[in-house]
């Protein structure tokens, strides 16, 4: 892969999305942890509607740890897969209470020991609340990376490793947010807005929608 090609792609994307940031709403690490778990197989917008109420009731790890699962399930039902998410969030917060003094740890090794937390969720936290450089490969980052041939693996963890090789260390969190924003706004899953894409000239994805030729 040409370094010049990669630089041009990221340069154009940075200009297009100078204020790229997470869509999920949060005010502290615990809120982002819960929101990211809820966001699995669910839109961030839907999660924000749920957490708008949820975060007023549950303010600490102890609050979540003491939650009654049947009640909590109904409170997050609209995010989908609510039984599994409720189980993970309650178990995750019990671990926070028992092993981390109720605080969200700021290291990958500790984070992935929590129920419902894989590398993606851990990287979201590391990059956005703990000030570390991290690449969180969500569905949007995964899709855009493949369409632009920035990565080839079908495994998100391996895509993370591929992107680490081409993204400068000091820009990992920022450029990851930009890839995600591009995926949400332009490089859509079913009907990508290729006519509006600022990196269209470097894309030869089979998903690409070619503009009609002018006569």
212 confidence band (pLDDT: 50, 70, 90): low
Q: List alpha helices for 58-197, DSSP H.
A: 61-65, 69-75, 82-99, 108-111, 119-128, 139-147, 156-166, 172-185
Specify the domain boundaries for CATH 1.10.1670.10 within the chain. 3-21+143-202
Q: Give the tens place of pLDDT for each residue, 173-183.
A: 999 999 999 99
Distance CA 190, CA 38 (A): 23
**Please, are residues 123 and 168 in contact by the beta-carbon 8 Å criterion?**
no
* Domain covering 29-128 in this structure, CATH number: 1.10.340.30
Q: What are the Cα distances from residue 14, in Å, to 17, 175, 181? A: 5, 8, 10
Question: Does the domain formed by 3-21+143-202 have CATH 1.10.1670.10?
Answer: yes
**Please, are residues 35 and 25 in contact by the beta-carbon 8 Å criterion?**
yes
Distance CA 134, CA 143 (A): 18
Predicted TM-score (pTM) of this structure:
0.94
Tokens 């969500």 sit on residue: 138
Q: Give the tens place of pLDDT for each residue, 120-175.
A: 999 999 999 999 999 999 999 999 999 999 999 999 999 999 999 999 999 999 99
Specify the domain boundaries for CATH 1.10.340.30 within the chain. 29-128
Positions marked catalytic: 120, 138
Tokens 């869509």 sit on residue: 23
Tokens 């089979």 sit on residue: 206
- ∠ CA 109-39-29, nearest 5°, is 50
């Amino acid at each position: 892969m040409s370094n010049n090609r990669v630089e041009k792609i990221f340069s154009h994307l940075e200009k297009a999305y100078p204020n790229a940031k997470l869509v999920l709403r949060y005010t502290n690490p615990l809120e982002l942890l819960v929101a990211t778990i809820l966001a699995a197989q669910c839109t961030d917008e839907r999660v924000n509607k749920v957490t708008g109420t949820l975060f007023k009731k549950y303010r600490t790890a102890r609050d979540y740890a003491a939650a009654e699962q049947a009640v909590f399930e109904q409170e997050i039902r609209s995010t989908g897969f609510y039984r599994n998410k409720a189980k993970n969030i309650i178990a995750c917060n019990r671990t926070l209470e028992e092993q981390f003094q109720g605080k969200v740890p700021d290291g990958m090794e500790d984070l992935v020991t929590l129920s419902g937390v894989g590398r993606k969720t851990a990287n979201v936290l590391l990059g956005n609340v703990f000030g570390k450089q991290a690449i969180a490969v969500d569905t949007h980052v995964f899709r855009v990376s493949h369409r632009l041939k920035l990565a080839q693996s079908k495994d998100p963890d391996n895509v993370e490793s591929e992107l680490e090789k081409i993204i400068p260390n000091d820009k990992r969190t920022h450029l990851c947010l930009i890839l995600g924003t591009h995926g949400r706004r332009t490089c859509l899953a079913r009907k990508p807005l290729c006519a509006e894409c600022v990196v269209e000239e470097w894309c030869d994805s089979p998903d690409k929608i070619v503009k009609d030729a002018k006569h």
